[in-house]
Amino acid sequence: MPERKSYHHGNLRQALVEATAALIEEQGPQAFTLTEAARRAGVSAAAPYRHFKGRDDLLEEVARQGFVEFAVRLETAFDGGRPRPLSAFLRMGQAYLDFASDRPGYYMAMFESGISVAGNAQLATASGRAQGVLIAGAEALAARLPPESRPPSRMVANHIWALSHGVVELFSRGKPGCRSPVGPSEMLESGAIIYLRGLGLITD
């Protein structure tokens, strides 16, 4: 069990977030309790209420922090669309898969916990930032087309997001896709290329 020094150093809020992310990774987003999170953080069962209204409030903070890191990873991968919009766009797909693999507890809190993103302004902002990177990528891909021929950038971003999420779900946590002869990176990249080519966003 972690020592209580996190609390004494004023880091209780973050200690609870990290403990909750670990519990979600182990048990799923529906199974953890505030009492377990407090125990994992090394504090009393009453201590979480000094920072969070309840279980859902803590879960939303885990998801918010996840979206912030997720957005940073996408921004870094996209790198302003350099050297080419397509290669930059495809790097974001790999960054999506890497985040889901590296930070499963946060990923599950973000996408599998049933929380309402729209009901929390800070959470909605963080989620919107991540989506905004994908939208920027779609806009960069469409820039060479005449305006009247460009597909809606938000639609493209949402479709690629859904495709990425589907690949994660297919290959994660012992699901059948784990036995596929095609790896997740290859599956996502080939699916994205087929989709983008179908929209006329790439021709090579």
Q: Which two tokens mark 127? A: 């989620």
Q: How far is CA 128 from the centre of its chain?
A: 11
What is the identity of the amino acid at 125? T
Asked if residues 48 and 87 have their Cβ atoms less than 8 Å apart, the reply is no
What is the C-alpha separation between 54 and 24, in angstroms, rounded? Answer: 16
- Cα gap 58→126, rounded to integer Å: 16
Structural domains of the chain ordered from first start: 1-52 (1.10.10), 61-198 (1.10.357.10)
R_g of the chain, CA atoms, integer Å: 19
Cα separation, 134 vs 107, whole angstroms: 17
Residue 3: Cβ-neighbour burial (10 angstroms; 0-12, 13-18, 19+)? exposed
Q: What pLDDT, in 10s, does the model give residues 151-179?
A: 999 999 999 999 999 999 888 765 555 56
The pLDDT profile of the chain, 204 residues, written as one tens digit per residue, is: 343 444 444 688 899 999 999 999 998 888 888 889 999 888 888 888 888 888 899 999 999 999 999 999 999 999 999 999 999 999 999 999 999 999 999 999 999 988 888 889 999 999 999 999 999 999 999 999 999 999 999 999 999 999 999 999 888 765 555 566 788 999 999 999 999 999 999 886
Determine the distance from the C-alpha atom of residue 77 to the mean position of all C-alpha atoms in its chain, rounded to a whole number: 14
Residue type, 204: D
